[in-house]
């Protein structure tokens, strides 16, 4: 891995230990739910037991009488302003007013002196409902006879997308071969190990919320908007976060409810979800029905693609309008073709709302496309690896939907994956029951545009060097939710300043003390927050050099700083320590501070939805997996996975590899086991970790992770993303390995043992093909 790291870096490119590793490993780290404040109350939310019902009345009087209950609130106590991702689709209230729209919809909340009392109080709230027929089947949500979920959204259509680039019909006409396949991607849930928590408190008119969030800034924005407060009077901050994966990017209801309860009681209120409540709130991956048609020439070169999707959005928009656009937009990245049409219908159902989950909208379509491509390769008798290499995107190209791709080592990734997996020796030569598959993926290194319309820079950073120079503190709004951004940003700060990582401190993700940053989503922080940090570090360094030049009476241009030493490359006798210079600076000029900010260039086309999927840079990856299938039971045994990534310059190889492993872990779970299941009343059947099966350590295959040389001109030091991109190839890769092993196609996720068993049984019953 080290071959890709430029030798002249002192701090980046090294696997320094995580800055918070000791706290986390020893259990000293305090997460939001561990925080205690004097007089703190506990709050809980009452949710709907019905998928669709009219609220006739809510009687809180009995609950209020219970000793220890301090407040009971409903929509009457809350602002009625609707919220959501974009003004056209603000469709959610803090508490339901007339109707409940899914099992788990928020109806009321209580604040009590302890948690036990909360449950008693919730049980004492009497809500009279009139149950309504519910929409549970997304494929029939738009039928005339279906109940209407939101009056403003006719026929339950939340969003309709039609994008057309080039001439797909003509491409199909010219094609040697045209094929259509349909696949289904299922509802999965992010399952962060830390449940959502928020503790809210007021100091006069100022609200402070500690939240387990991926984006303090968005929470601050949403809360200020709901309560009509200036942003400056809302402080949102986090401590440690135990994973988010997209599910902690939007308000959870705990912040809103907690703010109201804290205001009424005048006391801090801690609110949190248990595991079942997390599943009920949800915002996980959408269920998608994906029909893809492609035309190829006789060599397998892709001429045109039509993606026609339907998405089950659940009861609200959540972040789902972005998901819907991403689902199609990201299909154009890994392979080059000129003609592309994308049709999408995102429908409302009376099920929990779906939102952003690692790879945001893209992994399931990627599964569908990679499976579809293998079907084509098989029909044309082309090696799946060859068809991918033939079509692989090249650097400095533009996709049909107008994404500019700078660095791109798609082909090199495939070739390396071919080599290290032993593809050519294995393909067609594996023992019975074994198979090998390949798939690709690509993802944004930060979204080109923010979630709401604003001209704020996407990231900003500030570095304050201590008075005696023995420490420097990085202030950044970037949000470490476990992925390690605090660590890599400190590495980057030290590199830019000429300092050491070990002397760096960090204050992050606090809307009051740290400069603005949009937070952890769209794999944006290494590139975007990193660019701001680099600029701040360089500003510190420039000031240091200037004053060092004075101290040494030596031209600043002939001086440099590296790992805490000021020196002249041409004159070994000229040296000062960073501490000496920094102290001198403080004594003579006051605080030594560097600032930086980052705004991406203007990106993308002019068509409707052109913004979604734009990014300054894209990562690329190829994955090969080898599986063993039990022919009689359908059991899928994943033996090995080879992941080859083009993610630009690597800041911390160990953390990068951890991201690949983590992404693969999630991808594995979604590929084979994970599925949120519902009964015929819209209730989740498996809101727990025993029947919603994420992989365990013993389920992990052997992971071989490798890199290809790459440098991204749009990123600081040439970086781009890795966190989400690594999830993308996995589902298609396993499907293709099963296809190779057994010759059966599993056309829906999760691939599942019983599905493989059934496909094999059906094939046996049909008799041998041809």
Partner 1 sequence: MFLPDFDYHAPETLAEACDLVRDLGPSAKVLAGGTDLLIKLKHGLVTPTAVISLKALDELKTITHVPGRGVVIGARATHNDLVNSPLLHERFLSVSEAAHKLANNQVRNRGTVGGNLVNAIPSADLPPILIALDAWITLVGSNTSRTVPLHSFFTGPSCCVIDPVDEILTEIVLPDQQTTGSTYLKFALRRSGALSVTGVAVAVTMDGDTIVDSRICLGAVFPVPVRANDAEDLLRGKTWSDELLAEAGEAASCCALPITDIRGTAEYRLDLVRVLTKRALKRAITEGHV
Q: Does residue 115 interact with partner 1 by CB under 8 A? A: yes
The DSSP code for 604 is S
Q: Which of 3, 8, 152, 632 binds partner 1 (CB under 8 A)?
A: 632
Region from 88-96, 313-321, 575-583, 757-765 binding partner 1, contact rule CB under 8 A: 757-765
User: Is the Cβ–Cβ distance between 107 and 129 less than 8 Å?
Assistant: no
Q: How many residues bind partner 1 (CB under 8 A)?
A: 24
Indicate the residue among 153 and 753 with the shorter CB distance to partner 1.
753
Indicate the residue among 42 and 83 with the shorter CB distance to partner 1.
42
Indicate the residue among 193 and 697 with the shorter CB distance to partner 1.
697
The DSSP string of 694-730 is: ---GGG--EEEEEE-----TTSGGGB---TTGGGTTH
Least distance in angstroms from the C-beta of 685 to partner 1: 6
Indicate the residue among 225 and 683 with the shorter CB distance to partner 1.
683
DSSP-derived pairing of the beta strands 41-47 and 206-211: unpaired
- Rounded CA separation 294/303 (Å): 7
Least distance in angstroms from the C-beta of 119 to partner 1: 7
Give residues 665-704 in contact with partner 1 (rule: CB under 8 A): 673, 677, 685-686, 690-691, 693, 695-699
- Rounded CA separation 447/523 (Å): 8
Q: Which of 274, 468, 512, 762 binds partner 1 (CB under 8 A)?
A: 274
Least distance in angstroms from the C-beta of 670 to partner 1: 14
Q: Which of 164, 635, 654, 704 binds partner 1 (CB under 8 A)?
A: 635
User: Is the Cβ–Cβ distance between 247 and 192 less than 8 Å?
Assistant: yes
- Rounded CA separation 579/720 (Å): 33
Least distance in angstroms from the C-beta of 24 to partner 1: 20
- Rounded CA separation 215/250 (Å): 8
Least distance in angstroms from the C-beta of 327 to partner 1: 28
Q: Which of 2, 116, 148, 454 binds partner 1 (CB under 8 A)?
A: 116
Give residues 346-385 in contact with partner 1 (rule: CB under 8 A): none
Q: Does residue 758 interact with partner 1 by CB under 8 A? A: yes
The DSSP code for 141 is T
What phi and psi, each to the nearest 5 degrees, are found at residue 274?
Answer: -90, 180
Taking CA atoms, 75 is separated from 46, 81, 257, 378, in Å, by: 12, 11, 10, 57
Q: Which of 66, 611, 757, 763 binds partner 1 (CB under 8 A)?
A: 757
Least distance in angstroms from the C-beta of 243 to partner 1: 19
Cis ω before 136 (30° cut-off from 0): no
Least distance in angstroms from the C-beta of 361 to partner 1: 27
Mention every residue, 6+ apart, whose C-beta is less than 8 A from residue 729. 366, 370, 439, 440, 441, 621, 622, 623, 643, 667
Give residues 396-455 in contact with partner 1 (rule: CB under 8 A): none
Indicate the residue among 711 and 753 with the shorter CB distance to partner 1.
753
Indicate the residue among 469 and 669 with the shorter CB distance to partner 1.
669
Least distance in angstroms from the C-beta of 115 to partner 1: 7
The tokens of 675 are what? 């599925």
- Rounded CA separation 50/311 (Å): 22
The number of angstroms, rounded, from the C-alpha of 157 to the middle of its chain's C-alpha atoms is 25
> Which positions from 589 to 628 touch partner 1 by CB under 8 A, shown as an x/- string?
----------------------------------------
Least distance in angstroms from the C-beta of 635 to partner 1: 8
Indicate the residue among 24 and 120 with the shorter CB distance to partner 1.
120
Indicate the residue among 2 and 116 with the shorter CB distance to partner 1.
116
User: Reading across the β-sheet that carries 53-59, which strands appear in turn?
Assistant: 99-100, 53-59, 126-131
Least distance in angstroms from the C-beta of 699 to partner 1: 5
Least distance in angstroms from the C-beta of 38 to partner 1: 23
Taking CA atoms, 375 is separated from 181, 292, 394, 765, in Å, by: 9, 12, 24, 22
The tokens of 722 are what? 């890795």
- Rounded CA separation 129/149 (Å): 16
Least distance in angstroms from the C-beta of 111 to partner 1: 17
Indicate the residue among 42 and 50 with the shorter CB distance to partner 1.
42
Q: Does residue 37 interact with partner 1 by CB under 8 A? A: no
Region from 247-255, 377-385, 524-532, 630-638 binding partner 1, contact rule CB under 8 A: 630-638
Region from 227-235, 362-370, 612-620, 750-758 binding partner 1, contact rule CB under 8 A: 750-758
Indicate the residue among 81 and 123 with the shorter CB distance to partner 1.
123
| CA-closest candidate to residue 35, choices 271, 277, 217 | 271
Indicate the residue among 299 and 691 with the shorter CB distance to partner 1.
691
Least distance in angstroms from the C-beta of 667 to partner 1: 16
Nearest-10 crossing angle of helices 384-391, 363-379: 110
The three-class DSSP label of residue 47 is strand
458-464-469 Cα angle (round to 5) = 150
Least distance in angstroms from the C-beta of 672 to partner 1: 9
User: Is the Cβ–Cβ distance between 250 and 318 less than 8 Å?
Assistant: yes
- Rounded CA separation 635/753 (Å): 5
446: left (phi over 0), alpha (psi -120 to 50) or beta: left
Indicate the residue among 139 and 689 with the shorter CB distance to partner 1.
689
Mention every residue, 6+ apart, whose C-beta is less than 8 A from residue 17. 487
Least distance in angstroms from the C-beta of 627 to partner 1: 15
The DSSP string of 349-393 is: -SS------TTTT-HHHHHHHHHHHHHHHHHTT--HHHHHHHHB-
Where in 424-503 does DSSP place strands (E)?
Answer: 434-444, 459-465, 472-476
Indicate the residue among 292 and 641 with the shorter CB distance to partner 1.
641
Least distance in angstroms from the C-beta of 760 to partner 1: 11
Q: Which of 119, 133, 162, 762 binds partner 1 (CB under 8 A)?
A: 119
Indicate the residue among 187 and 235 with the shorter CB distance to partner 1.
187
DSSP-derived pairing of the beta strands 106-112 and 53-59: unpaired
Beta bridge partners of 713: none
| CA-closest candidate to residue 292, choices 360, 355, 249, 340 | 340
Report the chain's C-alpha Rg in angstroms. 27
- Rounded CA separation 526/489 (Å): 7
Q: Which residue has the tokens 């440099």?
A: 560
Least distance in angstroms from the C-beta of 244 to partner 1: 22
Give residues 175-204 in contact with partner 1 (rule: CB under 8 A): none
Region from 145-153, 202-210, 425-433, 752-760 binding partner 1, contact rule CB under 8 A: 752-760
Indicate the residue among 154 and 697 with the shorter CB distance to partner 1.
697
Q: Which of 61, 148, 397, 633 binds partner 1 (CB under 8 A)?
A: 633
Least distance in angstroms from the C-beta of 632 to partner 1: 4
User: Is the Cβ–Cβ distance between 364 and 173 less than 8 Å?
Assistant: no
Q: Which of 554, 586, 711, 753 binds partner 1 (CB under 8 A)?
A: 753
Indicate the residue among 632 and 680 with the shorter CB distance to partner 1.
632
Indicate the residue among 194 and 538 with the shorter CB distance to partner 1.
194
Q: Which of 30, 754, 762, 764 binds partner 1 (CB under 8 A)?
A: 754
Indicate the residue among 195 and 466 with the shorter CB distance to partner 1.
195
Footprint of partner 1 (CB under 8 A): 115-116, 119, 274, 632-633, 635, 673, 677, 685-686, 690-691, 693, 695-699, 753-754, 757-758, 761
């Amino acid at each position: 891995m080290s071959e890709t790291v430029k030798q002249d870096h002192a701090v980046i490119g090294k696997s320094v230990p995580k800055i918070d590793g000791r706290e986390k490993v020893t259990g000293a780290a305090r997460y939001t739910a561990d925080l205690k404040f004097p007089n703190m109350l506990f709050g809980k939310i009452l949710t709907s037991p019905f998928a669709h019902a009219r609220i006739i009345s809510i009687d809180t009087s009995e609950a209020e009488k219970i000793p220890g209950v301090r407040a009971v609130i409903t929509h009457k106590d809350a602002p009625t302003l609707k919220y959501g991702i974009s003004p056209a689709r603000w469709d959610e209230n803090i508490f339901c007013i007339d109707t409940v729209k899914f099992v788990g919809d928020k109806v009321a909340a209580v604040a009590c002196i302890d948690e036990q009392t909360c449950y008693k109080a919730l049980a004492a709230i009497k809500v009279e409902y009139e149950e309504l027929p519910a929409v549970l089947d997304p494929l029939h949500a738009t039928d005339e006879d279906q109940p209407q979920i939101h009056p403003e959204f006719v026929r339950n259509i939340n969003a309709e997308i039609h994008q057309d680039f080039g001439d797909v019909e003509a491409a199909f006409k010219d094609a040697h071969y045209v094929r259509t396949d349909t696949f289904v991607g299922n509802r999965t849930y992010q399952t962060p190990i830390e449940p959502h928590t928020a503790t809210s408190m007021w100091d006069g008119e100022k609200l402070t919320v500690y939240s387990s969030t991926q984006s303090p800034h968005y929470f601050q924005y949403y809360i200020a908007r709901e309560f009509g407060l200036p942003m400056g009077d809302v402080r949102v901050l986090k401590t440690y976060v135990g994973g988010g994966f997209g599910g902690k990017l939007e308000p959870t209801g705990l912040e809103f409810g907690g703010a109201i309860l804290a205001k009424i009681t005048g006391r801090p209120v801690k609110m949190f979800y248990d595991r079942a409540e997390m599943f009920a709130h949800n915002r996980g991956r959408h269920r998608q029905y994906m029909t893809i048609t492609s035309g190829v020439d006789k060599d397998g070169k892709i001429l045109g693609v039509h993606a026609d999707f339907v998405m089950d959005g659940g009861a609200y928009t959540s972040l789902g309008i972005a998901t819907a656009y991403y689902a199609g937009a990201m299909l154009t990245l890994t392979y080059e073709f000129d003609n592309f049409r994308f049709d999408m219908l995102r429908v409302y159902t009376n099920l929990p709302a779906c939102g952003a989950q690692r790879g945001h909208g893209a992994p399931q379509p990627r599964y569908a496309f990679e499976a579809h491509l293998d079907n084509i390769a098989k029909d044309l008798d082309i090696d799946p690896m060859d068809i991918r290499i033939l079509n692989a995107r090249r650097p400095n190209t533009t996709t049909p939907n107008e994404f500019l791709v700078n660095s791109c080592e798609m082909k090199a990734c495939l070739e390396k994956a071919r080599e290290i997996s032993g593809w050519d020796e294995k393909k067609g030569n594996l023992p019975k029951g074994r198979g090998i598959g390949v798939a690709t993926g690509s993802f944004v290194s930060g979204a080109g545009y923010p979630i709401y319309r604003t001209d704020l820079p996407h990231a900003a950073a500030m570095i304050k060097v201590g008075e005696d120079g023995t420490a420097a503190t990085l202030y950044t709004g970037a949000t470490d939710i476990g992925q390690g951004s605090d660590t890599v940003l400190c590495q980057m700060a030290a590199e830019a300043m000429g300092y050491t990582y070990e002397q760096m401190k960090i204050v992050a993700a606090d809307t009051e003390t740290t400069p603005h940053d949009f937070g952890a989503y769209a794999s944006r922080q290494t590139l975007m927050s990193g660019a701001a940090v680099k600029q701040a570090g360089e500003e510190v360094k420039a000031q240091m050099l200037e004053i060092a030049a004075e101290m040494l009476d030596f031209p600043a241009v002939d001086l440099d700083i590296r790992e805490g030493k000021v020196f002249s490359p041409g004159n070994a006798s000229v040296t000062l320590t960073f501490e000496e210079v920094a102290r001198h600076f403080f004594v003579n000029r006051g605080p030594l501070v560097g600032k930086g900010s980052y705004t991406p260039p203007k990106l993308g086309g002019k068509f409707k939805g052109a913004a979604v999927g734009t990014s300054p840079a894209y990562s690329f990856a190829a994955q090969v997996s080898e599986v063993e299938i039990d022919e009689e039971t359908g059991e899928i045994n994943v033996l090995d996975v080879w992941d080859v990534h083009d993610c630009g310059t690597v800041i911390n190889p160990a953390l990068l590899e951890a991201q690949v492993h983590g992404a693969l872990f999630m991808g594995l779970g979604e590929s084979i086991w994970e599925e949120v299941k519902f009964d015929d009343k819209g209730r989740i059947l498996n809101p727990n970790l025993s029947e919603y099966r994420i992989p365990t350590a013993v389920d992990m295959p052997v992971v071989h992770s490798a890199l290809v040389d790459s440098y991204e001109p749009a990123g600081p030091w040439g970086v781009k993303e890795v966190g989400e991109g690594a999830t993308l190839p996995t589902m298609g890769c396993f499907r293709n390995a099963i296809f190779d092993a057994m010759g059966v196609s599993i056309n829906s996720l999760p691939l599942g043992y019983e599905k493989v068993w059934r496909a094999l049984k059906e094939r046996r019953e049909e008799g041998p093909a041809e």
